[in-house]
Amino acid sequence: MNKKITISLAACIVATSLNAQTVTNVQANVEKKGDKQLSGQHAIGGWGVQPAIITDSTLPRILLIGDSMLGQYGSEVVKGLTGLVNVDRWKTPQYVSDNLVVKVAQIVSAQPYQLIHFNESGLHSLSNDRVPQGEYGKYMDKYLKAMKKAAPNAILIWAKTTPVTVKDKPGVLDDTLTNVVVEHNTAVEPLIKPYNLHVDDLYTLMMGHLDMAKGDKWHWNNIGAKLMVQSVVESIKKELPLK
């Protein structure tokens, strides 16, 4: 009897390892040097795919996609959803482009995700030499089309890009960059209905808490990060049938 239990446990461990390795292998194939080159001043932690630690394979599997903002809220979101879902995370600085369209299709097709919560590295797309003015909506249409094709059954939750503050001046809005953020967020709105997007409005949330800016222009202090965690967790719980 003990021998059978040992064999069974070993089989479970191997299955879990292979399951995680599937996502890791996809990461190795699609995460190129470009991620490091693009990280710049936005970076918090490393880039890449972090597979879920599977303890219950019967739970829904979901994917969080984002830039360094995901680095701020991702681990706490995982904790907030413990026992409800298995959470993979893909943190990337790649902004909307033809390259990202190819990557997102590969990543989201790696597992049968029931839900995908994403900010598309919005902070990395604010420069006109990356996404020309007026082109953001066009690229997001391609991005969403690729995502929908690769994960047709997944619920999609779009997290709006957050406002930008003046460096070393928490509470003071960077009007120039935030105007671009508004332009980009607005460009996605006509795509909400065609792609059946649900919206996690992190922009409005953090606009009401500019004093919680971290001081590096892009990110938020611990209290601000907790507000985003709460919003992300609630947006996911709202859309998924959970135990």
Q: Over its length of 243 residues, how does the chain's per-residue pLDDT go in tens digits?
A: 454 444 444 444 444 444 444 444 444 444 443 334 333 434 445 789 999 999 899 999 999 999 989 989 999 999 999 999 999 999 988 888 888 889 999 999 999 999 999 997 678 888 877 888 999 999 999 999 999 999 999 999 999 999 999 999 999 999 999 999 999 999 999 999 999 999 999 999 999 999 999 999 999 999 999 999 999 999 999 998 765
Q: Residue type for 84, please?
A: L
As a whole number of Å, the end-to-end CA separation of the chain is 32
pLDDT given for residue 123 in this prediction: 80
Domain extent, residue 144, equals: 2-239
Q: Which of 213, 142, 136, 205 is nearest to 173 (CA)?
A: 213
Tokens representing residue 88 in the block = 């993979």
pLDDT given for residue 155 in this prediction: 97
Number of domains in the chain: 1
pLDDT given for residue 32 in this prediction: 41
Pairing state between β 165-166 and 169-173: antiparallel
pLDDT given for residue 113 in this prediction: 97
pLDDT given for residue 174 in this prediction: 97
pLDDT given for residue 243 in this prediction: 59
How many whole angstroms separate alpha carbon 42 and alpha carbon 233? Answer: 23
In this predicted model, what pLDDT tens digit does every residue of 101-126 receive, in sequence order?
Answer: 899 999 999 999 999 999 976 788 88
Secondary structure (H, E, C), 95-127: CCCHHHHHHHHHHHCCCCCCEEEECCCHHHHCC
Instruction: Report the CATH number at residue 158.
Output: 3.40.50.1110
How many whole angstroms separate alpha carbon 71 and alpha carbon 46? Answer: 9
| CB-neighbour burial class of residue 222 (10 A; exposed 0-12, middle 13-18, buried 19+) | exposed
